[in-house]
A and B are shown apart, each in its own frame.
Chain A
């Protein structure tokens, strides 16, 4: 999608995303310095984005798209830090795979690195307050982080290319038809795989989850003892 966004939008999305990623990098640095123990989980979260965003999967619409993998990072470290992880993956794909692009990097970072993880984070927090089962919560958070990434992509494209007749909404419908529907089955699979990875993290590093304030001691202990 290199060059697909007009210059104006390219600059605008860069201007919005850059400060967020910069602050995320700053936060990440502090977190790593204060707590070396989290480094492996940070690597796992980044690696998960790497794996999932490399998988172009066929969907029910007869076209292919790929999941984002940002849900786990958003849950463990929050949207700020996840925006940094996503940007690394987006740059890698733009430079080596001609997938995405450097001119669209700002827009892609905004959708995949910022809005997606923020939505996932909010879903996670809301479900935790309602005492929804933790794994179901992770499933939902990852699902919506994935799905909203593509909804925002559709909005970004609609803003840049409003239809001559029907304007913004007609364009939005066209782009949502391409992205949002294709993404639904992928988002469900991503949610399930994220929940599974989260289960292993709960089992193996419950102590770090506690430190990151992801779940309470009781919840972690209960989940570790349950053989789900």
Chain B
């Protein structure tokens, strides 16, 4: 269980850092991508115009977060399914051959 605790501690520190920064001033918490867009504007003096646009954009922030959530859920199901499947398999194997257990 040690690694689980270490991971949990790192995540808690991450959350604490967020809480601290968040309480220290006004931040937009915008995407780094947008900031890079601003940096391009600054570097080129606003002369650069993107020459292509997304073929489809989620019509609203809600729909966008739905799609991101689906993406995460889809991935998490696959990971959980296989890890669970393997865990069950290992357990079944262990109880079928108790003498092989170490």
A residues adjacent to B (C-beta < 8 A): 1-4, 6-7, 40-41, 43-44, 46-51, 53-65, 92-99, 101-103, 135, 150, 153, 157, 161-164, 171, 174-175, 177-179, 182-183, 185, 188-189, 192-193, 195-197, 199-200, 204-205, 225, 227-228
Contact = CB atoms under 8 A, between A and B. Distances in A.
With most chain A CB atoms within 10 A of its CB, the pick from B33, B40, B52, B83 is B33
B39 A47 contact: no
A97 B64 contact: yes
Contacts of A4: 36-37, 40, 50
Interface residues of B, number: 59
A182 B4 CA distance: 25
B44 interface: yes
Contact of B6 (A1, A40, A54, A192): A192
Contacts of A53: 71
Contacts of A40: 82, 85-86
18 contacts: A1-B37, A3-B51, A4-B37, A40-B82, A50-B71, A50-B74, A50-B78, A51-B75, A51-B79, A54-B72, A58-B22, A62-B27, A96-B56, A192-B7, A195-B3, A200-B83, A205-B86, A227-B2
A1 B78 contact: no
Contact of B3 (A41, A57, A135, A225): A135
Interface string B4-31: 1011001100100110011001011111
